[in-house]
């Protein structure tokens, strides 16, 4: 039975795009988040002590509080973008036991101090003074303990010292979902 040219053209135009759409859908869903969680979620947060020129900060001094551990740098535009909402969230939720602890990876102490003053940062910050640069980015001892090489990156640690969430990149900390999550811990 001879094949009709119109049918052949029709099936070629219908089958190829259908195949392409299915292929893209399979490819896209195979790379999606399937409920696995980043390493460290549900595990005790790594304790640390950082001493810079102004203060000494240890994670264990915040036991019993909800800690928003934020790794940042003054030279990082996304870090600067999220700063106003992070400061506002600290003000609003401090009475509920939420404390923001900022760990700066700034190499220059003067740049760090100027940034804090220029932006009136209202949460506890400490500069991790022992950092280096490599192909991954800035490597600071405390940040690398958490697997953090790009900034900003934030860890939500519950009152018992368990990491409950890891947030990569800048966030609007005034979002209802985040505020509700923090107040439920």
pLDDT exceeds 90 at position 28: no
pLDDT exceeds 50 at position 156: yes
Q: Quick check: is 164 in a domain?
A: yes
* Secondary structure (DSSP) of 73-106: -TT-HHHHHHHHHHHHHHHHHGGGTEEEEEEE--
State the CATH number of the domain containing residue 147. Answer: 3.40.30.10
pLDDT exceeds 50 at position 110: yes
For β-strands 66-72 and 98-104, DSSP reports them as parallel
Q: Among the ranges 37-51, 57-71, 128-142, which has the highest mean pLDDT value?
A: 57-71
Q: Quick check: is 14 in a domain?
A: no
Q: Quick check: is 10 in a domain?
A: no
Q: Residue 67 sits in which domain range?
A: 49-184
Q: Within a 13 Å sphere around the CA of 124, how many CA atoms are in the beta-carbon half?
A: 18
Total number of domains constituting the chain: 1
Q: Quick check: is 5 in a domain?
A: no
Q: Quick check: is 19 in a domain?
A: no
Tell me which of 1 and 176 has the higher pLDDT.
176
Q: Quick check: is 28 in a domain?
A: no
Collapsing DSSP states into helix, strand and coil, what is residue 72?
Answer: strand
Could you report the per-residue pLDDT of 53-81, keeping only the tens digit for each? 888 999 999 999 999 999 999 999 999 99
Q: What is the mean pLDDT of residues 31-48?
A: 70
Q: Quick check: is 3 in a domain?
A: no
Q: How far does CA 168 lie from the centroid of its chain?
A: 3
Q: Quick check: is 175 in a domain?
A: yes
């Amino acid at each position: 039975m001879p094949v009709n040219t119109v049918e052949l053209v029709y099936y070629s135009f219908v089958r190829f795009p259908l195949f392409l759409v299915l292929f893209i859908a399979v490819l896209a869903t195979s790379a999606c988040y399937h409920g696995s969680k980043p390493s460290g979620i549900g595990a005790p947060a790594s304790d640390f002590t950082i001493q810079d020129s102004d203060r000494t900060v240890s994670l264990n001094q915040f036991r019993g509080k909800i800690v928003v551990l934020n790794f940042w740098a003054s030279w990082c535009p996304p870090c600067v973008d999220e700063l106003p909402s992070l400061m506002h969230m600290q003000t609003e939720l401090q009475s509920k036991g939420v404390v923001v602890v900022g760990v700066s990876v700034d190499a220059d102490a003067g740049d760090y101090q100027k940034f804090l003053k220029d932006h009136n940062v209202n949460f506890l910050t400490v500069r991790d003074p022992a950092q280096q640069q490599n192909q991954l980015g800035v490597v600071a001892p405390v940040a690398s303990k958490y697997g953090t090489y790009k900034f900003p990156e934030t860890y939500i640690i519950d009152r018992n010292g368990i990491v409950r969430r890891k947030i990569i990149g800048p966030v609007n900390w005034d979002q209802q979902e985040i505020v509700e999550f923090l107040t439920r811990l």
